[in-house]
Amino acid sequence: MGFVRAVRLLCLGVAVVVGAPASGAGADEIDPPPQTLTAEHLARVIDPLMNDWVEQRKGPGALVVVVRHDGLVFAKGYGSQDIAANKPFTADQTLVRPGSISKLFTGIAVMQLVDAGKLELDRDVNDYLDFSIPTPAGGVPVTLRRLMTHRAGFEEHVKGLFARNPEPAPLGAWLKENLPLRLFPKGDIAAYSNYGFALVGYIVERVSGEPFASYVKAHILDPLGMSHSTFQQPLPADLAPLMAKAYIASDKPERAAFEIVLAPAGALSATGTDMARFLRALLNGGELDGVRILAKSRLDEMMAPQDATPAGFLGLVFFGKKIRGHDALGHDGATQSFFSELEIFPGQDLGIFVCRDGIGEIKSIGDLSRQPDPVNAIVRRFLPEVPEPTARPHPGADESSIAGVYRSGRRAESTFLRFNDLLNERLVRIDAAGDMRLHPAIWPFGQGTRFRHIDHDLYEGPRSSRLVYVDDESAMVQPGGRLQRAPWWLDVRWIALAFVASAIVILTTLLGWPPAALYRRWRKRRWSEDRTERRQYLAMRLLLLADAIVITAMVVLLVMSGNLTIFNAELDPWLLALYALAWLGVLGAAPMLWIAIQSWRGHVGGRWSRIHHSLIAASGVFLAWFFVVLRIAGTTLNY
């Protein structure tokens, strides 16, 4: 789910995986014969992974759950749920936040109401709402099917996603106040959206006549016997003592109090054993212990491809992919502190849930991606090997055209969040072997993340993530999202260089201003005898000061945005001040340019002085463009 995925993990939800597998299993290793799926055998595979993360890499806590359709096979916690109290992480008495896995419950709630004849997947959702979602010219109406396949086209929105107040805002009021722009109104581009799923949950509220958390409890959690699970925020008194504290690493202080998350998109709290019951219900076609929460035909509809690509597919909420050659269905999830994965393998009668509290010790960017990966380790050790083609696919003749800079389809274009999207651009290269290398475009050095070429325009990376290049869209596509080729004028490589150069010019000019003034005072010399020129000189320095303040504020905002709760109404006055100063910088670019031209025409000062004025003008003009294009000079408090 996120504005600052690049900062928190230096983009809760769906994202391209950019790391190496933590299981230590390389693509070319020979898999051993599969073992029998027992708790003892699973412990031999999972314990080393998780214990290494906890003991050697300062992972705070985690749990791993494995089920068959007929019962729980393995459930174990690792590390501590409360480090100060030395309280161990357990599978049955520790609550975790599965994040966007909550969307599976939201989707099931919708399909229950569809089965009851109260909702239609392809009906304009305005028929169910008490406010209007406009359909732009040339666009299509928002429907539940489009929302559940992330094709409503909403731009990324973060304000209020994680609330600072102990009580969440009423869902309907929040949705009305925070309606984002429809960036892709034709319904043809998948762009993962937390706002979209909040809208889905609100429709459940309105049609059922029950608050969302109450509906899910009565119609999903209680029937499944998930007695230690809730969407209620804050937690009810009987569950609050079981909540794992939020950490980054075991040697760091507690990160925050209980996270208040946009409910239908990610507010579930649950124990591992409760999630095991949910997994079993999915493997049993919507039924558990004689209680059915959803007709099998409806669950099958949710799991069927709605948006199929060679890289996998998106059903109604469920993501379908290949993990070491086996068909898997599930969803990932992340809050600010908890990172989760849920996968079922219907053809193998296997379900897995993993949740980590924190990310552990980070010494390099690579450590962020080398998190423990029990799912791949379990599949590798306990499921039959799926042979790969013996002949390596020959790269297509057009694959050299794939190289370039890409930006995520999950982005904002009308708000200052566009700056984050710029930082998250990816550089794609094709190496000599025909494999794809994925780099952060802002720092495109080193080997990058390798995605093996496994078929024409199809590549497989860490944790079985896949990307397929679609030539007629100039995009790297994966289920629920895509990387679209960035236009040259939004290429972070040149923008970053120009930004740094402009910042250096401005900051050195301002830092040199007081010493230069003192030197002239000591020599009893004025910068110019012309009063107008002196005023111009002062005006230029004040404009540069405005630019410098904006640059500093951007850096501060970027650093602080590791905590998403800052994006709320309390930030609005500061944001308005930032907008005002940024617009002052934009308007001041023209006078800077005029003064530089006049310095050459009037030959004021020496040659180096005129060159300096030219550099100042160039910096001011670039920053004006930067502020306008990236919406730092903004006009909205809805982001």
Candidate ranges 9-23, 97-111, 378-392, 460-474; pick with highest mean pLDDT: 97-111
Rounded to whole angstroms, the Cα distance separating 84 from 89 reads 13
How much is the pLDDT for 373? 95
Distance between CA 383 and CA 603 in Å, rounded?
79
For 506-524, the pLDDT digits (tens) are: 999 998 877 766 766 676 6
Element containing residue 469 per DSSP (H, E): strand 466-470
Say if CB 216 and CB 109 are below 8 A apart. Answer: yes
Return the structure tokens found at 562. Answer: 């590791």
Give the residue, 62 or 594, on which the prediction is more confident: 62
Mean pLDDT, residues 116-124:
98
Q: Please say if the pLDDT value at position 535 is more than 80.
A: no
Whether the pLDDT of residue 9 is over 50: the answer is no
Residues 136-154 have pLDDT tens digits of 999 999 999 999 999 999 9
Q: Which 3 state secondary structure label does DSSP give 72? A: strand
pLDDT tens for 408-445 read: 999 999 999 999 999 999 999 999 889 999 999 999 99
Whose CA is closest to 212, among 157, 268, 156, 258?
268
pLDDT in the model for residue 120: 98
Cβ–Cβ under 8 Å, residues 319 and 14: yes
CATH 3.30.43.10 fits 5-382, yes or no: no
CB distance 132 to 165 below 8 Å: no
Tell me the C-alpha to C-alpha distance, in Å, between residue 521 and each of 479, 514, 525, 526. 66, 10, 6, 7
The answer, yes or no, to whether residue 208 has pLDDT greater than 60, is yes
d(CA 338, CA 100): 10
The DSSP output letter for 246 is B
Q: Length of the chain, please?
A: 639
Confidence of residue 19 (pLDDT cuts 50, 70, 90): very low
Please state the rounded mean pLDDT for residues 248-276: 92
Segment 587-629, tens digit of pLDDT: 999 999 988 888 788 755 678 878 988 999 999 999 999 999 9
Q: State the Cα–Cα distance between residues 405 and 441, nearest whole angstrom.
A: 7
| Spans of all domains in the chain | 5-382, 399-490, 496-629
Average pLDDT of 226-238?
97
pLDDT one-digit tens code per residue, 561-584: 888 999 999 999 999 999 999 999
Q: What is the 3-state secondary structure (H, E, C) of 166-223?
A: CCCCCHHHHHHHCCCCECCCCCCCCCCCHHHHHHHHHHHHHHHCCCHHHHHHHHHHCC
**Mean local confidence (pLDDT), 388-417:** 81
Q: What is the DSSP string of 104-134?
A: HHHHHHHHHHHHTTS--TTSBGGGG-SS---
Average pLDDT, the chain: 90
What is the helix, strand, coil percentage profile of the chain, to 5? 40, 20, 40
Q: What CA dihedral angle connects 592, 594, 598 and 599, to 10 degrees? A: 20
Instruction: Provide the pLDDT for residue 365.
Output: 66
